[in-house]
Amino acid sequence: MLHLARNLTQLRFGSLMEIYEEANREHGQMLWPDEPEMRQIQLSEQDFYRYLNEGFFRTPGAVYAVWEAGGQYVSALRLEPYRDGLLMEALETTPEQRRRGYAAALIQAVQEELKRQGGAKVYSHVDKRNAPSLKTHAKCGFRPIADYAVCVDGSVSRKLYTMCWDA
């Protein structure tokens, strides 16, 4: 089931962090290598909360999309204004729920919602080495449009493809 949040109070933050546990662990190891692992994760989660509260949700039109199954958050992504449409980012599924189609179900539900709202072009930056994500994007109708990505902050990455879906 699709859940859309337009502010932080509409999310169960602890449940969301379960989806991003791997990313938070990696983020914590990079930024706070001298801290114990649990502290690294805690600091990373605090960073994530601050980003959502002070940055992401202050962007007009930004929305967090979460897929729930059995009352649990299993997959999530962010959408924010980008170029002439929206940028889909931070697509993630909890490790124990992967390979069950939840990411595709989430993307397709978001696409249906966007169609109901009149349509939108959706961009996504996907790591060139992430075969499962590339496959999921293709399954959901995304096509590659560039072999690099121009990120929201203006930086360019040649490690990512820019993909696009148009309602």
Distances (CA, A) of 49 to 11, 60, 128: 11, 18, 28
**How much is the pLDDT for 152?**
86
Rg for the chain, CA atoms, rounded: 16
| pLDDT mean over 138-151 | 96
Average pLDDT over residues 41-55: 97
Half-sphere exposure in the Cβ direction for 161 (13 Å, CA): 17
- Tokens for 41, please give them: 């994760």
Mean pLDDT of the chain: 96
For the beta carbon of residue 134, count every other beta carbon within 10 angstroms.
Answer: 17
Residue pLDDT, tens place only, 93-104: 999 999 999 999
Tell me how far apart the alpha carbons of residues 38 and 57 are, in angstroms, rounded to a whole number: 27
pTM: 0.94
For 26, the 3-state DSSP assignment is helix
Nearest CA among 59, 49, 58 for reference residue 12: 49
What is the band of 167 on the pLDDT scale with cuts at 50, 70, 90?
A: confident
Comparing CA positions, the residue from 84, 90, 118 lying closest to residue 22 is: 90
Structural domains present in the chain: 2-118 (3.40.630.30)
Per-residue pLDDT reduced to its tens digit, 115-143:
999 989 999 999 999 999 999 999 999 99
